[in-house]
């Protein structure tokens, strides 16, 4: 789990995750399918910010919807890659990787590797998102 100093860094990822998870649910309710980030943003459904629609947070993270269809999507949030280099070491707050899908269960990895469907559940967002799961 993160230390107090990590909270601001991780808060940006949590905010992005919740925004996209909520936007996907709203989009699906309207269009009967999930969407990519550009469809969710300005010029599309206008459910997320321009930053998120471009696949990034204002400061630290990149976002990617890897696959999406009528019934599923995979959202990955990872540290932004500056000049193709990520200064990553075990315990670095910028090295949290997150994974979520249509179940709204957010998973994470802090070992400088992408989070997957089998990674640990992120307990903070697990409490927040449980009410909205289908």
Confidence of residue 42 (pLDDT cuts 50, 70, 90): very high
φ/ψ of residue 8, rounded to 5: -65, -45
Q: Is the pLDDT confidence value at 134 over 60?
A: no
- Interval 13-24: pLDDT, tens: 999 999 999 999
Res 73: pLDDT: 96
Residues in the chain: 134
Placement of tokens 């500056």 in the chain? 82
Class of domain 4-132: alpha beta
Res 133: pLDDT: 46
Structure tokens of 123? Answer: 């307990």
**Nearest 5°: CA angle at 78, between 77 and 81?**
135
**Nearest 5°: CA angle at 98, between 82 and 23?**
100
- Interval 57-92: pLDDT, tens: 988 899 999 878 899 999 999 988 654 445 555 556
């Amino acid at each position: 789990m993160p230390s107090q100093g990590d909270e601001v860094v991780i808060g940006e990822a949590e905010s992005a995750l919740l925004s996209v998870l909520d936007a996907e649910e709203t989009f699906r309710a309207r269009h009967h399918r999930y969407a990519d980030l550009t469809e969710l943003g300005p010029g599309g459904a206008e459910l997320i910010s321009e930053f998120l629609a471009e696949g990034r947070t204002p400061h630290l993270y990149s976002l990617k919807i890897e696959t999406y269809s009528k019934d599923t999507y995979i959202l990955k949030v990872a540290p932004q890659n500056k000049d193709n280099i990520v200064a990553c070491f075990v315990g670095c707050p910028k090295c949290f990787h997150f994974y979520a899908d249509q179940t709204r269960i957010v998973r994470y990895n802090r070992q400088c590797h992408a989070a997957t469907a089998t990674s640990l559940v992120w307990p903070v967002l697990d409490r927040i998102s449980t009410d909205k799961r289908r």
